[in-house]
Structure 1
Amino acid sequence: MKIAVCGMGVAGSYLMARLKDDHEVVGFERMEDKKHDSICAWGTIKSTMIELCDKVGIDFEKYVIHDGKTMNVDIHNQKRFQIGLHGLCTYNKMGLIKNFIKDCTVHYGVAPKLEDLEKEFDIIVDCTGFYRMYLPKLEQDFFVPTYEYKIEYKDKVPFDDFYIKPFPGMSGYFWYFPMSEKTAHVGAGDYHKQHIVETDKFFKKYGGKITKTVGRPLRLATPNLCKPFYKGKVVGVGESIGTVYPLLGEGIIPSMKCVDIFVKNLGDNESYEKEVDEYFKIYGKVFNFIRKKIHKNFSIIKSLFEVLSIFRYMKKNEERFGMEIHMRDLMKVAKA
């Protein structure tokens, strides 16, 4: 088939790599080649990424920048605590994206009209993330704005490992992700729009040299709220249909898992939607938990079953999340 993939982020680039040997695939990226960048902290789970990248013959370990050992967590009015890490890392995100699409035809600096794509292609895949450019507008969207600096430090770095600071009411969090001995991604996302204030406060405290600034909305609405997944020749994959884990704002691996489901069900949109709904079902429960906290409708007694479901899911998939999962830590966040 002749397939157009729109958006060369994590989902779109990985999809190009998965399809290029069996189909005529053409990519489209609205950013210019030299300005093409990937937004938000470049953190992921090594073991899962090794498995996913192996499907397209790429050694993920070549892209790892920092292997995490400890996540430092600050919660308002609580003593800082640590979470043991087993696989959480930062990696060269843009380097891997470029490798995914290195042998592919990609048109940069263009966002073609839907009617033009429909004339030429059998399938149009919307991997445009939050913007969802080729699918109908969502009735129940939910997102947080994000903002991030890439900072170089001349002398001592603020932290030698991962650091996060959840905001009150779980409306988002501030993050510090190490990129090298002297470089880090520093940023935040917050429903109440305090993300820039918090990021600048950290920068003023610790200094450094800002080498890049990026920002965009991050969709937290989950797949059950992101219908339709397809219309006509267009099919959504990744964040365009809500594949971000709401508790962590993590979208890299979920979007790549969504790609695998799409490739498995290529040409059968009903089966694709059914499998996506089943795989990401727990995300809806997590989103309800987060939304209640943000809107101050949360009760630990009324939501106990929901909290237990989230804990069991994460504990069962401890290796997938790259960190030690304990109920006490979840409760600290839930009560904040």
Structure 2
Amino acid sequence: MKIAVMGMGVAGSYLMARLKDSDHEVVGYERMVEERHDSICAWGTIKPTLAEFCKKTGRDFNDFLIHDGKKMHVKMNDDVKFDIGLKGLCTYNKLALIKDFIKDSKIIYGPPPSIEELEKEYDMIVDCTGFHRVYLPKLKQDFFLPTYEYKVEYPDKVPYDDFYIEPFPGMSGYFWYFPLGERWAHIGAGDYNKQHMKATDDFLKKHGGKVLQTKGRPIRLATPDRCKPYYSGKVVGVGESIGTVYALLGEGIIPSMQCVEIFLENMNDFKAYEKAVEKHFKVYAKVFNFVHAKIQKNFSFLKALPDFISIFLYMKKNEDRFGMNIKVADLMKVAKA
């Protein structure tokens, strides 16, 4: 087939690398000009899982590793502070890996063709445009958080030696500090109640540092069960365009790459792809319902208890996937915020 992959973010670039040696003719499109091609949002991921994905493309993840986490410092308020032990959570040079994934592929930068032009030229159009979901029908009921982030350089001492987060009241989002080596960090926040910019600027004022980059974009929390259709005509969505973000953490890197693998197994049968996505991301709907109820202030812990137990058991079973020690007491602290 002749395939167009639209959007060179995490999902699109990884898909290009995975299709590189296939029998298909694959062309990637990125709406930004090459000099401005960037990767928005913090560079946090899980080392063992990303290492496996990289291995499938002949790459060594250690070439892109920046910081290997040991503890995540959590501050709920002045009275509730605790650490979560980490087992694989890290930061990596996300943009460098994206560019490495696509370095040997045909990529066309700049404003992309219309859907009509694409349909005339290609047998399949893969929508990896993330939140924007440019080539799929608009969602009837989307749900997203605005985010804002600085890349900061510290001349002397960094504020924290490891990961640091502050969940906002009602689980409406959280502030993050992600270390990027000895002198740099990503600081930012996403918040449904739109306090994300204030929280980020307050941290910058308190701890100082030189802002090197400013970034901001919405992140989709609506899960795959809420993001249908996954395909329409020749177009099929992969990654955040069909809701592959874990709502409790706002994490989308690994889920998007998992979605690529599901797509590759079912790319000749869109119905089978839809069923496989639904099965793999089934628990995400429970996570979303839990978080959404907290944000909308109609949360009842008694009603949410079955979902809470399911979420805890899922994360506990997949500790290596989430890169941290999962304790019911820690999850309770967040749930009660």
Q: Same fold (TM over 0.5)?
A: yes
The equivalent of 2:221 in structure 1 is 220
The equivalent of 2:142 in structure 1 is 141
Aligned residue runs from structure 1 range 264-303, under 5 A: 264-303=265-304
The equivalent of 1:113 in structure 2 is 114
Q: What's the CA shift for 1:78?
A: 3.2
> What SS does the corresponding residue of 1:243 show, helix, strand or coil?
coil
Cα distance between partner residues in 1 of 2:73 and 2:126:
38
The equivalent of 1:307 in structure 2 is 308
The equivalent of 1:167 in structure 2 is 168
Aligned residue runs from structure 1 range 112-261, under 5 A: 112-261=113-262
Per the alignment, do residues 293 and 77 of structure 1 end up closer, same or farther by CA in structure 2, a change over 3 Å counting? farther
* Residue type of the alignment partner of 1:292: A
1:266-316 Cα distance to aligned partner (Å, 9 max, x none)? 120000000000000000000000000001111111111110000000000
Aligned residue runs from structure 1 range 17-36, under 5 A: 17-22=17-22, 23-36=24-37
> What SS does the corresponding residue of 1:314 show, helix, strand or coil?
helix
* Residue type of the alignment partner of 2:279: E
The equivalent of 1:14 in structure 2 is 14
* Residue type of the alignment partner of 1:241: I
Cα distance between partner residues in 2 of 1:264 and 1:76:
45
> What SS does the corresponding residue of 1:302 show, helix, strand or coil?
helix
Q: TM (normalized to structure 2)?
A: 0.99
> What SS does the corresponding residue of 2:84 show, helix, strand or coil?
strand
Report whether the alignment pairs 1:4 with 2:1. no
Q: What's the CA shift for 1:226?
A: 0.1
Report whether the alignment pairs 1:72 with 2:73. yes
Q: What's the CA shift for 1:77?
A: 4.8
> What SS does the corresponding residue of 1:53 show, helix, strand or coil?
helix
Q: What's the CA shift for 1:106?
A: 0.4
Q: What's the CA shift for 1:249?
A: 0.3
Cα distance between partner residues in 2 of 1:36 and 1:139:
30
Runs of 4+ in 1 over 3 A off after TM superposition: none
Cα distance between partner residues in 1 of 2:195 and 2:310:
30
Aligned residue runs from structure 1 range 43-54, under 5 A: 43-54=44-55
* Residue type of the alignment partner of 2:10: V
1:147-186 Cα distance to aligned partner (Å, 9 max, x none)? 0000000011100100000000000000000001000000
Q: What's the CA shift for 1:53?
A: 1.1
Q: What's the CA shift for 1:213?
A: 0.2
> What SS does the corresponding residue of 1:216 show, helix, strand or coil?
strand
Cα distance between partner residues in 1 of 2:30 and 2:287:
31
The equivalent of 2:89 in structure 1 is 88
* Residue type of the alignment partner of 2:20: K
The equivalent of 2:322 in structure 1 is 321
1:133-159 Cα distance to aligned partner (Å, 9 max, x none)? 000000010000000000000011100
What is the count of residue pairs matched by the alignment?
A: 336
Report sequence identity in percent: 69
> What SS does the corresponding residue of 1:244 show, helix, strand or coil?
coil
* Residue type of the alignment partner of 2:8: M
Instruction: Compare 284-293 and 16-25 and name the one that shifted more.
Output: 16-25
> What SS does the corresponding residue of 1:301 show, helix, strand or coil?
helix
* Unpaired runs of at least 5, structure 2: none
* Residue type of the alignment partner of 2:108: H
Q: What's the CA shift for 1:111?
A: 2.1
